[in-house]
């Protein structure tokens, strides 16, 4: 990252808002590389937004700004070391920040300036990183972004509390916007936030139930619904926030939400594909180890002969750590058209959702970048 580089203490320190390039700056390259180049200079802007309500370092005044004046006395160091340092340990490791970037693109595509709403940009990113902390603990993961997971670094108790705190601290920008934004607009934003947080927990519950062997068979439509809630939630929140802040009518807000949900599902399918490849910073075949019923697994179980489908199910339910067992599961997947099916479905979701949205948007650089961004999510290699 740029402005959120580590100090010697290991803490990211995005304190000042850099001069903001617009999300619709002129293109500099082509394909996935171009999108990464377009996102990169906006990361400091997003991190500065995050730091306004989730600061990497605490003072007494900042705690009061977050929690209110104490009746007795805060232990500022305890709060910093057990919540904010923990959260920024993960935030500071990178991440594409694509959900806030999506919010910016939606705002610009509707003819507004994202800098007017910069306080809200960091909301989905902090929630997302909170879910990663909790997901890693639930899955027993060892690595996240090339380093030990936070429950390994700080302990299970601190990781759970920090991750949960990152679910609701992002409400602070809405609380602070009272009197600055119309009451009806704020009510809509609260409703979007609340509904999507309900959705994400239900998507996660479904995924957990499946990879614990709680279902005899999962269909592709069931997978897509789970993914719409687990993976689509924060993209949908980002897009709906952007559309609503930019003054879109309810029908267009919903259309942006469906578009964002579709590209997020496509993003997850691409993750499913990448998870089965050797990559720096990722555990090999982690989804197999966790017994996850990914789209590829569901498709393979539908296509494999009965005996091999039973073997794949056995491997998944055993949560293997042996590389040979993981490799065998991947080999069974490759005996079917699971990989091609996944790539094709991801591409179709993006294509169809864009076709539904593009007629509602005027021609602009932001509109072109919005489409390029959606295509990037299924073309990326990491």
* Each residue's pLDDT tens digit, 335-380: 999 999 999 999 999 999 999 999 999 899 999 999 998 888 777 6
1 within a domain of the structure (yes/no):
no
- The answer to whether residue 297 is domain-embedded is yes
Is residue 22 assigned to a domain? no
pLDDT in tens, 52-78: 999 999 999 999 999 999 999 999 999
pLDDT the model gives residue 316: 94
| pLDDT mean over 274-280 | 69
Q: What SS3 state is found at 14?
A: coil
pLDDT higher than threshold 50 for residue 6: no
pLDDT digits (tens, 9 = 90+) for 240-271: 999 999 999 999 999 999 999 999 999 899 88
Name which of 67, 48, 188, 166 is nearest 118 in CA terms. 48
Lowest model confidence (mean pLDDT) among 159-168, 212-221, 287-296, 325-334: 212-221
The per-residue pLDDT for 280 is 43
Query: Taking 70 as the threshold, does the pLDDT of residue 17 lie above it?
Result: no
Which pLDDT does position 212 carry in this prediction? 86
The yes-or-no verdict on residue 11 having pLDDT over 90 is no
Task: Please give the residue that has the higher pLDDT: either 382 or 145.
Answer: 145
The token pair that represents 148 in the structure block:
């030990």
Tell me, yes or no, whether 10 lies in a domain: no
By percentage, how much of the chain surpasses pLDDT 70?
Answer: 89
pTM of the model: 0.87
| Predicted confidence band of residue 139 (pLDDT cuts 50, 70, 90) | confident
Instruction: Give domain status of residue 324, yes or no.
Output: yes
The arithmetic mean of pLDDT across residues 64-93, rounded, is 97
Residue 282: predicted pLDDT: 57
For residue range 94-131, what is the model confidence (pLDDT) as tens digits? 888 999 999 999 999 999 999 999 999 999 999 999 99
Residue 22 pLDDT > 90 = no
**Whether residue 156 has pLDDT greater than 50:** yes
**pLDDT at position 31, please?**
59
Calculate mean pLDDT across residues 35-51: 92
CATH code where residue 341 lies: 1.10.600.10
Are 350 and 266 within 8 A, CB to CB? Answer: yes
Domain count of the chain?
1
Three-state SS letters, 214-265 = CCCCCCHHHHHHHHHHHCHHHHHHHHHHHHHHCCCCHHHHHHHHHHHHHHHH
For residue 277, CA distances in Å to 215, 285, 303, 312, 330 come to: 26, 7, 22, 18, 10
Q: Is residue 2 one of the residues assigned to a domain?
A: no
User: Residue 283 — very low, low, confident or very high, per pLDDT cuts 50/70/90?
Assistant: low
Give pLDDT, residue 85: 97
Q: Give the CA angle between residues 105, 111, 114 to the nearest 5°.
A: 50
Contact 107, 117 (CB under 8 A): yes
For the segment 145-173, the average pLDDT, to the nearest whole number, is: 97
What does the mean pLDDT of the chain come to? 89
Q: Which residues constitute the domain of residue 249? A: 31-377
C-alpha span between 109 and 259 (Å, rounded): 14
Lowest mean pLDDT among 2-16, 27-41, 173-187, 223-237: 2-16
- Domain assignment of residue 7, yes or no: no
Within the chain, how many helices (H) and strands (E) appear? 20, 2
Residue 24 inside a domain? The answer is no
Which contacts qualify for 168-172: CB closer than 8 Å, 24 or more apart? 169/53, 169/54, 169/66, 169/126, 170/53, 170/54, 170/122, 170/123, 170/124, 170/126, 170/127, 172/53, 172/66
Does the pLDDT of residue 272 top 60, yes or no? yes
């Amino acid at each position: 990252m740029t402005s959120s580089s580590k100090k010697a203490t290991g803490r990211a320190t995005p304190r000042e808002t850099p001069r903001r390039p617009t999300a619709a700056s002129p293109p500099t390259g082509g394909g996935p590389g171009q999108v990464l180049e377009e996102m990169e200079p906006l990361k400091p802007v997003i991190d500065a937004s995050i730091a306004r309500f989730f600061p990497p370092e605490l003072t007494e005044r900042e705690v009061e700004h977050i929690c209110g004046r104490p009746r007795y006395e805060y232990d500022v160091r305890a709060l910093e070391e057990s919540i904010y340092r923990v959260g920024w340990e993960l935030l500071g490791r990178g991440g594409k920040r694509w959900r806030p970037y999506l919010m910016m693109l939606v705002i610009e595509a509707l003819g507004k300036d994202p800098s007017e709403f910069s306080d809200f940009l960091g909301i989905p990113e902090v929630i997302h990183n909170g879910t990663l902390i909790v997901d890693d603990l639930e899955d027993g993961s060892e690595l996240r972004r090339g380093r030990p997971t936070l429950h390994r670094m700080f302990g299970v108790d601190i990781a759970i509390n920090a991750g949960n705190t990152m679910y609701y601290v992002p409400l602070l920008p809405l609380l602070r916007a009272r009197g600055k934004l119309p009451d009806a607009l704020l009510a809509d934003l609260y409703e979007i936030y609340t509904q999507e947080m309900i959705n994400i927990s239900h998507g996660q519950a479904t995924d957990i139930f499946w990879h614990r062997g709680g279902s005899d068979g999962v269909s592709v439509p069931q997978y897509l619904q789970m993914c719409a809630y687990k993976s689509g939630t924060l993209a949908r929140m980002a897009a709906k926030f952007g559309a609503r802040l930019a003054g879109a009518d309810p029908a267009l807000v919903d259309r942006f939400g469906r578009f964002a949900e579709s590209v997020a599902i496509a993003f997850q399918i691409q993750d499913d594909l990448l998870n089965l490849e050797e990559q720096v910073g990722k555990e090999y075949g982690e989804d197999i180890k966790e017994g996850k019923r990914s789209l590829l697994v569901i498709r393979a179980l539908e296509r494999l002969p009965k005996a091999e489908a039973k073997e794949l199910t056995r491997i998944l339910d055993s949560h293997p750590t042996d590389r040979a067992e993981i490799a065998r599961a991947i080999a069974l997947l490759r005996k079917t058209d699971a990989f091609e099916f996944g790539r094709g479905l991801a591409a179709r979701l993006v294509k169809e959702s864009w076709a539904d949205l593009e007629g509602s948007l005027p021609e602009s650089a932001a509109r072109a970048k919005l489409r390029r961004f959606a295509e990037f999510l299924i073309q990326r290699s990491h």
